[in-house]
Amino acid sequence: MLCHVFHYTHKPANSDNLNQITNFLKQSNWEQNIHLKTLASHMSPESACKVISLHSENIALCVRFFKWVCKQSTYCYSIDSRIHLVNLIMRSNLFGVLHKVIVALIKDCSHSVNEGLRLISVVDDIRKSGFGISYPCYSTLLMCLSKLQMGLPAFSVYKRMVNDGFILGLIDYKTLINALCKIGFVRAAEMFVSRILKLGFTIDVHISTSLVLGHCRTGDLKHAFQVFDEMSNQDGCGANEVTFTILIHGLCEAGELTEAFALKDKMVINGYQPSTRAYTVLIKAVSDLGSTNNAMYLLDEMLKKGITPNAHTYTILINGLCKESKIEEANAIFKKMIKDGLIPNTITYNALINGYCKQEQVVYAFELLAMMEKRNSKPNIRTYNELMEGLCRIGKPYKAMSLLRKIIDNNLKPETLTYNILVDGFCKESQIDMAFKIINSMDSLNLEHDGFAYTTLIDQLSKEGKFDQANGVIGVMMKKGITLDEVTFTALIDGCCKNGRIETAVTVFNHLVKHLGLTTPHVFNSLIDALNKDSKFGQANSMLGMMMKCGVTPSVVTYTILVKGYFQEGDINQSLKVFELMKHVNCPPNVYTYTVLIDDFCQNGKMDEALKVLETMCDNGAHPNVITFTIVIKAYVKSGDLERAFGILNDMVKENCAPNFETFLALLEGIVGGKNKKESFTVFKEMNATHVLELLQKCKKNGVRDSDVNSFLIMGLYKVGRIVEGYELVQEMVKNGYFLDITSCSKILEHLCHEGKYDDCVVWMKLMFDHGPMPSFESCCLVFYGLKKEGKILEMQDLMSGLLWKAGVDERNGVLEYIESLVKCDEPYECLELLKVVEELNHQEKPII
C-alpha cells in the first residue's frame, strides 16, 4: 500500500548458497531448475554479481545468467535494479562481461521514452567513469532509440560515437535516418543520405521508405510521393509493402481517404498484399469518420484474404462501435478477439467500459473490470474515470467516489478529470456541499483546475437560484487566476434567466460583452427566450440586434425562439416571416422549429394551417417526430374530432414514428371522456373493458401493434393501483410472445418501489428475467435496497444472481461484489475519509522496495 514506506536491506547470499548455485550452473538446462529458481527469487544484485564473478572466465554463461536472474529475482527485475547490477559488475572489473551485459540491458529495458533516457544516462555515466563503451553498445542503443521515435537523443548518441572514434556502418546510418524521419526531421535525415552516397553506399528501399515516412510526418505528401515515384522508376530501388502502408497512413491523416483506398488497390496491382497495419490504418480512418459499417466491411475483406487482424485492429473497431452506441456489435468483436487468441489490453477494455457506461449498463462495465483484474490486465486511471462517469450517469456519485479506494490500491493517482467527473456527478444530484469538498481536495493535491469544476458548480448554483454562492465561486476563480470564459458566464446567465432574474442576467451579459466578447449564440438564446417568456418582446428584438452587432450568427435555436415569441405576442405574421427568413439565410428550420409552429397553430385552433406545415416538413428534410404528431393528435382530441386524431396516428405509423405514452394517453382520454383531464392518470381509474377494446381496435386498424398498446395500458394500470388487472394483461402478453419494453418495465418497478410493494417487484423482475428485457440498473438497485431494508436478504441475493444470469455475465463472483457494494446506502462519511486518505498519500513518498 502507498500509505507505508518500506526499506529492504539485501543480505548477501552465504557461501553454501553460492556453491549450490555454482553447481546448478554446470548443468545444461539450469534455467529450468526449480531449486535454482527458488534460490534466485530472493537474490540481490550484490549476490548476482558474486555469482557472475565466480564464472567470469565463461562470458557467455555470465550473460545468460544476467538475463535470467533479472527475470527471476524480485530484487533485480526493475530497470534501476538492473542498472545497479551493471554498475556492480563494472566495479568488480569484469570488463569482458560488462560489454555484453550493457547490450542485454539496452535490449531488455527499452520499452518507453523514460527507459530510453535512463539508458542514455547509464551509458554516459559508465563512459565518464573511464570505461570505453563498445561499438555494439552504441549501435544497439541507436536502434532502440529509433524504435522509441527518439530522434534527437539518437542524434546525440551518434555524436558520442563519432567523438569516441567509431566509424559508423551502413546499418547505423539507416537507423539514424529512420529515427530522424520518425520525428519529421527530413532535412537532417537527407544530410546523412548525402553522407552515405559520399561513402560509396547506395540508397536502398529502407532509406527511401524512411524519407517517405519523414515527409508524411510533416504533412508534406507532395514530396513523399516524389520520393515514392523515384523509387518506382525503372532505375529506382522499388517500393515495398511498408512504403505503400506509410503513404496510405499519410493520406488518411490528411483526410484523403479516396486516394488512400486507390493506393491500396494499386498496391495489389504491384503484387503486394496489404498488411494488417495497412488495413488497420484504413479501418481507423473510416471509424473516425463514424462509418463503422465500412470498417466492418474492411475487416471482412481482411479475413477473406487470410490477413489476420491484431489486437490494435480490434481495439479500433470496438472504440468506433462504442462511439456510435453499437455496444452489442462492439461486444461481439471483443468476444471474437478473445476467441482468436488475442489478449485485450487496457485500451481495449477502456473503450468497451466507456461504451457500456454511456449506455448506463454498469453491470457489464464492472464485469469487464472484474475480467481485467482476473487476467492481470492492469486498469489505469482512465478505466476508473470511465466507471466513475458511468455511475454518475445513473445518479450514484457516492459510489463513484468509493472507487477512489480502487485507485489507491492500484498505486494510481486521481487526476483533474477524476475530480471533475465527481463534481459534475454531485452537482447533478444537487449535492453542492460534497462538490465543494471535492474541489477543496483538488487544492490539497495541487491539481491544476481547468475551470470545468467551478463552471459546473456555478451552473448548478444558478439553476437553484443561489446566485450569491455562484458569485462567490466566480470570485474564487478570479483569485486563483482561472480564466472566466464564455461558458462560465453562459451558465450564470442561463441560471438567472431560468429563475426570472432577467435584470441580473442582462447586467452580467453587458460585462461579458464589454470585457470578453462573445463567439457563440448560447447566451443570446437564453436571454431572448427569457425576455419573450416575460413578454418583453421589444428587449428581445434589441438583443437580436446586439447579437448581429457582436458578429455572432443566429442559430436555428435563435430563430425557433423568435418564432415562438412572436406567436406568444399574437403577431402570427411576424412569426411566419421569421420562419421564411430562416430558409433564405442558410439556416433551414429543423423539426423543433416546425413543431413550435404546429403547436402554436394548434393552440390557436388553426388546424388547417397546422396540417399544411406538417405536410411540408418532410419535403424540406425535417421529419416530424413523436412530439410533433402527438401535439396534433391532442389538438384533435381536444376539439372532439377523434376520427381525425386516429388519422394522424395512421400517418405517424406510416412515417415509422412509434407512438409514446403521451400519444396513447391522449387517444384514451378521447375515448373515455373526450377532453384532456387535469390529472393525466385519472383516465386509468375511469376506463373499463369497453374503452380498452375500442382503443385496441382503433390502434390496430391504424397499424399499431397490440403489444405497444398493452404496454401503455399496463403501465397506467400499475400507476393507479389496478395491479391485478395489469398483471393479468402482462400474462396475456407473455402468452402471445410479447413483453414490455425496458422503459415501461423500469417505470413500473420504480412505481412499485415507491409504493413499498417489493413482493410485486420480485414477481416483476423474475418475469423480466424469463421473458423481458434486461432491467435498468437504477430500478434494480431500488428493488435490492428495498428488499434489504425489509430484511429479505435471500430474495435480494436470488434476484442478484438472476440479474447476472440475464446479463450473461461470466465473471459472476467478481461482479457480485461490486453490485452488492452499489446497493448499499450512500455513506458520505466514508467518502470524506477516503478523500483525506488520498490527500495524505499525495504528500508521502512512493514505497521503496
Q: What is the pLDDT of residues 519-536, one digit of tens each?
A: 889 999 999 999 888 888
pTM across the whole model: 0.80
Residue 123 has which C-alpha cell?
551509458
Place of cell 372532439: 640
User: 335-377 pLDDT, tens per residue?
Assistant: 999 998 998 999 999 999 999 999 888 888 998 998 888 887 8
Is 572 a residue whose pLDDT tops 90? no
pLDDT, average across residues 701-712: 89
pLDDT at 382: 95
What secondary structure letter does DSSP report for 810? S
What secondary structure letter does DSSP report for 827? -
User: 640-680 pLDDT, tens per residue?
Assistant: 899 999 999 999 999 899 999 999 999 999 998 845 455 66
Q: Rounded distance, CA 173 to CA 170, Å?
A: 5
Between 709 and 776, the higher pLDDT residue: 709
Burial readout 395-419 (b: 16 or more C-beta within 10 A, e: otherwise): ebbbbbbbbbebbbeeebebbebbb
Is 813 a residue whose pLDDT tops 80? no
pLDDT at 843: 58
Give the sign of the dihedral formed by CA 212, CA 217, CA 222, CA 223: negative
Residue 172 has which C-alpha cell?
547505423
pLDDT at 849: 28
Residue 35 has which C-alpha cell?
531449486
User: What is the band of 511 on the pLDDT scale with cuts at 50, 70, 90?
Assistant: confident
Cα pseudo-dihedral 282, 288, 290, 291, rounded to 10: 0
User: 259-300 pLDDT, tens per residue?
Assistant: 999 999 999 988 888 999 999 999 999 999 988 999 999 999
pLDDT at 295: 93
pLDDT at 593: 92
User: What is the band of 782 on the pLDDT scale with cuts at 50, 70, 90?
Assistant: confident
Is 11 a residue whose pLDDT tops 50? no
Cα pseudo-dihedral 478, 480, 486, 487, rounded to 10: -130
pLDDT at 26: 86
